[in-house]
Amino acid sequence: MNVSLNWLSTHLDVAGKSIQEIDDLLTFAGVEVEGIEAKGVSSEKIVVAQVKEAVPHPNADRLKVTQVDCGEDGLRQIVCGAKNYKVGDKVPCALPGAALPGGFTIGETVMRKVESKGMLCASSEIGLPEGEDGLMILPEDAEIGKPVKEMFDSDTLFELEVTPNRPDLLSHYGMAREWAALLETPLKPLEIPERKRTGETAIKIESPDACPLYTAVRISGVTVKDSPAWLKERLEAIGLRPINNIVDITNYVLHEVGQPLHAFDCAKLTGGIVVRPAKEGEKFVALDESEHVLAPEDLVISDESGAALALGGVMGGLDSGVTETTTDVLLESAYFTPQGIRRTSRKTALSSDSSYRFERGVDPQGVLSASDFAVKLILELAGGTAAEATEVAGEAPVLVQPVKLDAAKLDQLMGGSISLDEAGAILTRLGLKDLGDGMWEVPSFRGDLLRHIDLVEEIARVHGLANVPSRFLGAFVPTSKVDAGYDADMMLRRRLAALGLYECQTIKLISDAQMIDALPLRPLMDGDVIRVALPLSEDHAVMRPSIVPGLVASAERNVRQQAKSLRFFEMGRVFRNAGGGKAKDQESDSLAILLSGPTAPAGWSADADAADLYDVKGLLAALLPGKAIKFQPRARDGFALACDVKAGEQNIGVFARLLPGRERALDFSDPVFVVELDLGKLRKLLTGTAHVEELPQFPGSSRDAAMNVSVATANADIEKVLEKCGEPLLVDFKCFDVFTDPTGEKLAADRKSVAYRFHYRAADKTLKQKDVDGAHAKVLEALTKKLGVEFR
């Protein structure tokens, strides 16, 4: 909300308060000051100048060289591009040294080889409201050389954010009332003569819940015309555009006392006002020409013809408003309940200064006085005759009732930092009345004060947290499962960083196009993908079912920045429906890894190789020490080399390489390997209780063997045989060489030589050579039998 300091000063004396003091006052009262703008001409060096001569610029068609009289000795030469003035006009001239809004200072310059010693200004260039195109033409009687500043009022405009619980502050009078309470300074009362009221009325309220009070005054014979200067200035000061005197008065009263009003053209009404629910499917064209289809929960103001004239409290209709030809007006002032206004405003996406106030709650006791005030102004500024009495239908709702301030609870919450007397003094300043026994009467404009705690809030707000002591205490609580998970996550993160990976954070909303890179733990079925209903853009339409697409996008961005070694990971939530959308939304946590390009930065000695699958495996093994990491091929659409990742026998995630075509499309020059792991399972692996294995007491013995097998034989097949061979002395085995010869010279092209080292050991004795030989022979025999390998 915009508040003009000049306007506000009509209600209380703020002279002597600096802008900074006012800023602090508001800030600590809970009103956020979003901006402070000094209005008016700020520089003394902007003076009235008379144009004495204007000749075409020798080097520029659009410019003129003027000689102006600024009240100095001799004339001043200024180059100017405006066209709207004539010789003899008086205009503002910014002299060298003048600081203009927007932060630049005028100097002497040369424009296309012609000297220019200042600048002739438009109104908007010197901090005044936008005027006609071109220079601001000052009145003929303006005194040459006089600072323009002295001809216009200055003002300070506060841009304030009023919290939704304080609708009483949404007007200049309401704001002044608050300032007066905080500053303990008198508030000048509003002097509004009270008009006669009558219950004899043609107004029919058919929706008393949505509109418990509706008042109207008919004023005939008004002259609709421009508002007087003072009214225009008031409205312009807070950024409103003057329209005509009647509309301006309703706007003025709204911003003065906070009660929205509406003026209808009586010529467009048939009979009395009917406040009724909209009919199902009823059409309504609002003042802003938007068209709406209404429903019974919307409230319309209509007449006896049944036509909807206005959407009650939200916006007038296109055809019922006041125009230049209006002679008789009907002035509406009513109380609309917040819930209904909010529902309609939200549904129709129509929002106005009126709906903003009604949906927060206006003062029910202010409805009639605002009407009285507006009638007075209309008679003064537009003439005409008002009906003798204001028609009143319904009753002002009573929204406040006495509230008990519980002294013990106040003391507990405030930590004993304020006495009951001091607390009471604060409430009194805010307009509450002490009814005795801890009961307080709440003024009608403070509908937000309904409970003990609401009074405490007021006391705490005015007392200030600066005056409350600090206490450093807290209950002991057990750590949670989430704590354990967090610790495991941080350990993984630190390991990954130490292994040379950068952690990424990507947006959890991704595009459909990115779904091609999704590598969820289980393949997605139709309906598994979760979409937001109204995405902001196609780029953020889908809840990520996998982190991989985000990492691929991050890697791609880095490739564009010439990064070569791409080593990234990210942890976080992934989302999917389960079972083709049949089950409820599922959220789980994932760890994704992406490796591509050299495993280390290039240097002056040998360059590191581009990462391959075995680097990924090595990384996972280092990440989960002691867990046997295995890849088990399982095809995935859209990926190459896809495997389940296993830790021992447990499936913990998925590995794959992007399809080479996808890599090329994204301009990757090396293979891109991605992994998505189930973070929940990793946490369990890392937090399970481990028992220490005893160290071997007796030495073991190793034997090497190279086997000649078909190139098609997977290493996993060999390992499987070894794991199941049942030789108790075999405690470890490891592949240490794989040799192939595509030329077929040293080894048939369809064979490979796989060398293994086998380690034998007994827990209770040092093995004799023959024991080792015997065990080794059994192991080799098992391999021969199961896989038909030949040993070299």
SS3 per residue for 498-561: HCCCEECCCCCEECCHHHHHCCCCCCCCCCCCCECCCCCCHHHCEECCCCHHHHHHHHHHHHHC
Q: Which is nearer to another protein, 468 or 578 (CB)?
A: 468
Least Cβ distance, residue 198 to another protein (angstroms): 33
Nearer to another protein, 4 or 558 (CB): 558
CA pair distance 761, 768, nearest whole angstrom: 10
Could you tell me if 94 and 126 are in contact, meaning their C-beta atoms sit under 8 angstroms apart?
Answer: yes
Among residues 80 and 566, whose Cβ is nearest to another protein? 566
Q: Which helix (H) or strand (E) holds 643?
A: strand 639-647
With respect to another protein, which residue has the nearer C-beta, 391 or 528? Answer: 528
- Residue 393 has phi, psi (to 5 degrees) of -120, 135
Q: CA-CA distance, 427 to 423, in Å (whole number)?
A: 7
CA 113 to chain CA mean position, Å: 51
User: Between residues 239 and 464, which has the closer beta carbon with respect to another protein?
Assistant: 464
Number of alpha carbons in the 13 Å side-chain half-sphere of residue 349: 5
Q: How far apart are CA 39 and CA 159, in angstroms?
A: 13
Q: How far is the CB of 607 from another protein (least distance, A)?
A: 10
Pick 92 or 597: Cβ nearer another protein: 597
721, amino acid identity:
V
Q: How far is the CB of 652 from another protein (least distance, A)?
A: 21
Other CB atoms within a 10 A radius of the CB of residue 352 amount to: 19
Identity of the residue, 197 or 493, whose beta carbon is nearer to another protein in the bound complex: 493
* Dist. CA 363–CA 447, nearest whole Å: 8
**Smallest distance, another protein to C-beta of residue 533, A:** 5
Write down the least CB distance from residue 166 to another protein, Å: 7
CB of 316 to another protein, least distance (A): 22
- Shortest distance in whole angstroms from residue 762 CB to another protein: 40
How many other β-carbons are positioned within 10 Å of the β-carbon of residue 484?
14
Q: Residue 583 CB, nearest distance to another protein (Å)?
A: 12
What single letter denotes the amino acid at residue 65?
A: V
CB 517 → another protein: shortest distance, Å? 15
| Amino acid letter, 452 | H
Residue 599: how many other CB atoms lie within 10 Å: 17
Residues 6+ apart with CB under 8 A from 97: 45, 105, 106, 107
Per-residue tokens: 61: 């068609």
Nearer to another protein, 105 or 505 (CB): 505
DSSP output for 154-178: -EEEEEEE--TT-GGGSSHHHHHHH
Residue whose CB is less far from another protein, 325 or 480: 480
Closer by beta carbon to another protein, 294 or else 709: 294
The DSSP code sequence of 376-428 is HHHHHHH--EE-SEEEEEE--------EE--HHHHHHHHTT-S-HHHHHHHHH
Q: What are phi and psi of 754, to 5 degrees?
A: -115, 120
**DSSP run (H or E) holding 720:** helix 715-724
Residue 736 in contact with residue 755, Cβ under 8 Å?
A: yes
Closer residue to another protein (CB): 117 or 540: 540
Nearer to another protein by C-beta: 539 or 771?
539
Residue 230 or 476: which CB sits closer to another protein?
476
Within 10 angstroms of residue 183's Cβ, the number of other Cβ atoms is 17
Closest C-alpha to 179, from 462, 541, 563: 462
Task: Closer to another protein by CB, 345 or 390: give it.
Answer: 345
CB of 539 closer than 8 Å to CB of 585: no
Count CB-CB contacts under 10 A for residue 658. 27
Tell the smallest beta-carbon distance from residue 122 to another protein (Å). Answer: 31
